[in-house]
Homo-oligomer: A and B are copies of this chain.
Amino acid sequence: MKKDTVLSNNNPVTILVVGAGAVGGFYGCRLSQAGAEVSTVHRSDYEAVRQKGITIDSIDGPAHFHPQQVLRRVADYQGFPDYLLVSLKSLPELDIASLIAPAVGPDTTVILLQNGIQIEEPVQQRFPSNEIISGLAFICVNRIGPGMIRHLCYGRLMIGCYPEGISPAVRQLSALFERSNVPCHTSAFIVTERWRKLLWNAPYNPISVLAGGVDTQQIMAQPDMVSLIRGVMEEVLAVALSLGHNLTQEAVEKNLDDTHKMKPYRTSMLLDYESGRPMEVEAILGNIIKAAEKKAVRVVRLQTLYSLLKLKAKQPFSAN
């Protein structure tokens, strides 16, 4: 295994972060602190990062790092990285497989650190011989300026092989993150974990936008809204169960309890909407509905939110 070789020799692990916004910038910085040789690809922030690197105003203290290579395009990367970490949003118009292709060598492990479900398939189909690590980030982090990131809370990761298992590469990556104080759990059933996270994302993200820009506490303060959210979570659960994932009603109740206890939180979809950025409507809702249709599972609430959100996405924030 190439990864064991990397671990055992003294060459630093090389990592290319594609989509070095708030999430990619944050974890890229942590991996760099752990000793990895981290390079980054930027669109709008390229000039700023090339000059000043990436600065993080974190609850864990300030941090700064200058990527090994700062790039405008994936094709500009010299050589092939050990790991190529994708932290781009999951949008239908974004062909991730084509985008990363120039830097995916025969031994490159692709890490997909993105929201939603069914995001791995196109990458696996394009690179059938490469290892794919699927990952979930539980973090509140915002880009506050070019190369400037604010880390508000949380930060833990959950990673595993796609479609299942735990490999030496997963263990190496987890060790790297843990070395820089990022709690990184591994799961042999990472797709199940994606569904577990979706239990939360599927109701709260759309509702925060549709109900007029509200945080989690405003939502939870309305009793029939809690019923709606439980209903949406149960629909997601039913789809996950139909696909053979090992989740239970307990996961629904735990999500509701945790949200009651959580500080008021504005979802990433709401922040996207209010900033005029595209929302992850398909990765978070559309793909569940497609899966539900294949398995003939009734998801009336999800379909209602999905139809409303698609139309809402076409209306500019300022005009509604």
Residues of A that sit less than 8 Å from B by CB:
207, 210-214, 218-219, 222, 224-225, 227-228, 231, 300-301, 303-308, 310-312, 314-315, 319-320
Contacts and interface: CB of A to CB of B under 8 A. Distances in A.
A222 B315 CA distance: 13
A168 to B, nearest CB: 45
Among A211, A225, A300, the one with the most B-chain Cβ atoms within 10 Å of its Cβ is A211
B312 A210 contact: yes
B307 A222 contact: yes
A305 B222 CA distance: 14
Contacts of A224: 303, 306-307, 310
B308 A231 contact: no
A240 B305 CA distance: 25
Given A210-B312, A212-B315, A305 B307 contact: no
B320 A212 contact: yes
19 contacts: A207-B308, A210-B312, A211-B308, A212-B311, A212-B320, A213-B315, A214-B311, A218-B311, A222-B307, A224-B306, A224-B310, A225-B307, A225-B310, A227-B307, A228-B303, A228-B307, A228-B308, A301-B304, A308-B308
The SS class assigned to the A binding surface is helix
A79 B24 CA distance: 76
Nearest to A270: B320
Contact of A219 (B231, B303, B311): B311
A218 B310 CA distance: 12
Contacts of A225: 307, 310-311
Given A214-B311, A225-B307, 19 more contacts: A211-B311, A212-B311, A212-B312, A212-B315, A213-B315, A213-B319, A214-B315, A222-B311, A224-B306, A225-B310, A227-B303, A228-B303, A228-B308, A300-B300, A300-B301, A300-B304, A304-B304, A304-B305, A308-B308
Contacts of A312: 210-212
Contacts of A307: 222, 224-225, 227-228
Instruction: Return the 5 tightest CB-CB contacts between A and B, nearest first.
Output: A212-B315, A212-B320, A211-B311, A213-B320, A212-B312
A236 to B, nearest CB: 15
Contacts of A218: 311, 314
B213 A308 contact: no
Nearest to A224: B307
A301 B300 CA distance: 7
